[in-house]
Amino acid sequence: MLTERQRMILNVIIDDYIRSAEPIGSRSISKRSDVSFSPATIRNEMADLEELGFLEQPHTSAGRIPSIKGYRYYVDHLVRLSEVNDQDVQKVRSFFTEKMNQMEQIIQHAASILSNLTNYTSIVLGPETFTNSLKHFQLVPISEDAAVAIIVTNTGHVENRTISIPADMSMDEMQQAVNILNTKLIGVPLARLKSKLYTEVGQELGRYAEQCEKLLGVLDEALKSEDDHRVFLSGATNMLTQPEFKDVDKVKTVLDLLDETPTIMQMFSSLPSGIAVRIGTENTHEAINNCSLITATYSAHGHQLGTIGILGPTRMDYAKVISLLDLLSKDMAVLLSRWYK
């Protein structure tokens, strides 16, 4: 529905605006070497594009800026996904060579790289653990009435909680209960631990029932609080460098949002697999209605594990961010596959 020339002009306007953050006038477009029309012609086209909803005018005597619809069209039809800058590839690759044998470390590092290379804010959602299965369960006594409960999953994820031991129970008894749980529950997905316990293991435990209840409580809690540890942020303060956030109040609502792990979890929970772009008001959370969120899911061995995302102003370098996310999500998959074979 847009003519070739209109598409070209829209493309140029968005590219220029992404770089300059200032409204683009007809004259500056006309002066470009790849454009051979006079300002007047450009103006006519721009007026049409505005009528169609792809451009906006901050005020009468200013140039045009892209609207949400304009960005959307750009992302869907115009953007040329450049190869990632060689230098940037280099940095990502060197990320590979560093040996990191902690999954958390890899993920946090990936977030750092993303925010460094883009100067936006990166958000990475780590793998969920409740689909993992129990590999090992253990109690380590640390005093007369306290012990550390340790849970290891098949992916090597470790959760631990300090629990206090009831006075009327010996350490031996406790240990026995743990042994029973271990023999019966290894291999069971964490999400089904509790139900599994009640239906199949309940009777065997006999007098340990009460203690098992307690242990299960610990397990349960471990799974809940783990949400907090799935979200990795980096470069939140990059928001402050964006000219659209020179107003302190605006940036505060965004930064406050980033502090709320549950909200981020919710934002990321409903994303499709692959690359997704949410522009401005397409985001349901009002605080980021003048931001764009670009996300890419990563997976290993066919299992979708988590999501990496970049949050920046709507005036974002979509081409760069998309290709970078694409690159990194694939690389992460390779790195993480080690834990998921």
- Residues contributing to the site for a second copy (CB under 8 A): 101-103, 105, 135-136, 138, 140, 142-143, 146-148, 150, 152, 154-156, 158, 160-164, 218, 221, 225, 236-237, 240-241, 245-246, 248-249, 251-252, 255-256, 259, 338-339, 341
Q: Do 274 and 262 meet the contact criterion of CB atoms below 8 Å apart?
A: no
Q: What is the largest CA-CA distance in the chain?
A: 90
Nearer to a second copy, 26 or 153 (CB): 153
Q: Which of 19, 21, 62, 162 binds DNA (CB under 7 A)?
A: 62
Q: Which of 47, 150, 152, 257 binds DNA (CB under 7 A)?
A: 47
Spatial separation of the C-alpha atoms in residues 74 and 50, rounded to whole Å = 15
Nearer to a second copy, 41 or 112 (CB): 112
Q: Which of 19, 32, 38, 105 binds DNA (CB under 7 A)?
A: 38
Nearer to a second copy, 48 or 221 (CB): 221
Nearer to a second copy, 97 or 270 (CB): 97
CB 183 to a second copy: min, Å: 15
Element of type H or E holding 138: strand 134-143
Which of 126, 132, 159 shows the shortest CA–CA distance to 305?
Answer: 126
Interface with DNA includes 34 (CB under 7 A)?
no
Contact partner at residue 37 from a second copy, DNA, none, CB < 5 to 8 Å by partner kind: DNA
Q: Do 29 and 38 meet the contact criterion of CB atoms below 8 Å apart?
A: no
Interface with DNA includes 80 (CB under 7 A)?
no
Spatial separation of the C-alpha atoms in residues 143 and 313, rounded to whole Å = 53
273-282 contacts, C-beta under 8 A, 24 or more apart: 273/297, 273/299, 273/304, 275/322, 275/325, 275/326, 277/75, 277/318, 277/322, 279/68, 279/71, 279/72, 279/75, 279/314, 280/68, 280/71, 280/314, 281/68, 282/68, 282/72
Interface with DNA includes 27 (CB under 7 A)?
yes
Contact partner at residue 61 from a second copy, DNA, none, CB < 5 to 8 Å by partner kind: DNA
CB 200 to a second copy: min, Å: 24
Contact partner at residue 341 from a second copy, DNA, none, CB < 5 to 8 Å by partner kind: a second copy
Nearer to a second copy, 47 or 255 (CB): 255
Nearer to DNA, 55 or 111 (CB): 55
Length of the chain: 341
CB 30 to DNA: min, Å: 8
Element of type H or E holding 150: strand 146-153
What pairing do the DSSP bridges indicate for beta strands 158-164 and 65-66?
Answer: unpaired
What pairing do the DSSP bridges indicate for beta strands 158-164 and 303-313?
Answer: unpaired
Interface with DNA includes 269 (CB under 7 A)?
no
Nearer to a second copy, 160 or 176 (CB): 160
Nearer to DNA, 25 or 280 (CB): 25
Spatial separation of the C-alpha atoms in residues 275 and 76, rounded to whole Å = 12
What is the 8-class DSSP label of residue 166? Answer: P
Residue 304 pairs with which residues in a beta bridge?
299
Q: Which of 39, 52, 253, 339 binds DNA (CB under 7 A)?
A: 39
HEC states along 196-232? HHHHHHHHHHHHHHHHHHHHHHHHHHHHHHHHHHHEE
Interface with DNA includes 70 (CB under 7 A)?
no
Interface with DNA includes 64 (CB under 7 A)?
yes
CB 252 to a second copy: min, Å: 4
Residue 4 pairs with which residues in a beta bridge?
none
Site residues (vs DNA, CB under 7 A): 23-28, 36-41, 43-44, 46-47, 50, 57-64
